[in-house]
Amino acid sequence: MLDHLSGGRLELGVGRGVTPYEPALFGSIRLEHEKYSTRRWRCSCRLTNSRLTFEGRHYQYTDVPMELHPLQHPYPPLWYPTHNPESVQYAARHGYNFVGLGAAAQVRQHVDLYWQTWEAHRHDPTRLNGHVAVPKVGILRQVVVAETDDEAQAVARTAHGDWYRSITKLWHDHDDHSVDGLFAWQTATQYETILFGSPARVREQMERLVAASGCNYVICAFAWGTRRTCKRCARCACLPRR
Torsion angles phi and psi, residue 156, rounded to 5: -65, -40
pLDDT at 228 (0 to 100): 53
pLDDT (tens digit, 9 = 90+) per residue, 138-168? 999 999 999 999 999 999 999 999 999 999 9
pLDDT at 234 (0 to 100): 46
- Please indicate, yes or no, if residue 89 is contained in any of the structural domains: yes
pLDDT at 45 (0 to 100): 55
pLDDT at 207 (0 to 100): 97
My answer on whether 193 and 144 are in the same domain is yes
- Please indicate, yes or no, if residue 205 is contained in any of the structural domains: yes
- The structure's pTM equals 0.81
- Please indicate, yes or no, if residue 240 is contained in any of the structural domains: no
Torsion angles phi and psi, residue 70, rounded to 5: -70, 160
**Structural domains in the chain (count):** 3
Nearest CA to 106 among 201, 200, 182?
182
pLDDT at 240 (0 to 100): 47
pLDDT at 47 (0 to 100): 52
- Please indicate, yes or no, if residue 31 is contained in any of the structural domains: yes
My answer on whether 204 and 180 are in the same domain is yes
pLDDT (tens digit, 9 = 90+) per residue, 3-28? 999 999 999 987 777 788 887 777 76
pLDDT at 241 (0 to 100): 45
- Please indicate, yes or no, if residue 239 is contained in any of the structural domains: no
- For 175, how many CA atoms within 13 A lie in the half-sphere containing its CB? 0
pLDDT at 46 (0 to 100): 54
**CB of 42 within 8 A of CB of 90?**
yes
Low-confidence ranges of the chain (pLDDT < 50): 30-33, 36-37, 40, 44, 229, 234, 237-242
Neighbour-count burial of 41, counting CB atoms closer than 10 A to its CB (0-12 exposed, 13-18 middle, 19+ buried):
middle
pLDDT at 242 (0 to 100): 38
Report the C-alpha gap between 65 and 87 in whole angstroms.
30
My answer on whether 107 and 149 are in the same domain is no
Report the largest interatomic distance among the alpha carbons of the chain, rounded to a whole angstrom: 61
What residue type is assigned to position 180 of the chain? Answer: D
- Please indicate, yes or no, if residue 229 is contained in any of the structural domains: no
Nearest CA to 90 among 116, 66, 117?
117
SS3 sequence, the chain?
CHHHHCCCCCCEECCCCCCCHHHHHCCCCCCCHHHHHHHHHHHHCCCCCCEEEEECCCCEEEEEECCCCCCCCCCCCEEEECCCHHHHHHHHHCCCEEEECCCHHHHHHHHHHHHHHHHHHCCCCCCCCCCCCCCCEEEEEEEEECCCHHHHHHHHHHHHHHHHHHHCHHHHHCCCCCCHHHHCHHHHHHCCCEEEECHHHHHHHHHHHHHHHCCCEEEEECCCCCCCCCCCCCCCCCCCCC
pLDDT at 17 (0 to 100): 74
**CB of 107 within 8 A of CB of 215?**
yes
My answer on whether 96 and 111 are in the same domain is yes
Residue range(s) defining the domain that contains residue 58 = 10-70
